[in-house]
Amino acid sequence: MTVVGTTAESYVEASARDAVSAAELAAIRKSDKYSALQRTHFFQPIAVETLGPMNTAASSFFAELRRKISAMSGDDRESGYLVRYYYYYYYYYYYCPGEDLFLPGYRC
């Protein structure tokens, strides 16, 4: 997962074009970086801008994953857990960089 600072010098031009352009650019860069991994593994770049937008491929991936989770469990509410976990992770990743998110009882 990549959190893109839309005001960072490397993304300002993309951010000025479109709301999700910086996230799309970050996802392309992440795909290029891990291109060797993609030959042997499924790799889904997830890039989120600090102001909220997510790259298009990641949005589609999460929508399909939510649909499959709900279909397997038979409970439409199941997919909500994925969304909540994603935003929880996003919050800590952005506001607590370098901290271990999974420590029990940890508060940033």
**What are phi and psi for residue 86, nearest 5 degrees?**
-60, -50
Question: Does 55 or 2 have the greater pLDDT score?
Answer: 55
The answer to whether residue 33 scores a pLDDT higher than 90 is yes
Per-domain residue ranges for the chain?
Answer: 2-95
Q: Is the pLDDT of residue 108 over 60?
A: no
Closest CA to 82 of 67, 97, 104, 96: 67
Q: Which two tokens stand for residue 43?
A: 């790799």
Confidence check: pLDDT of 79 > 80: no
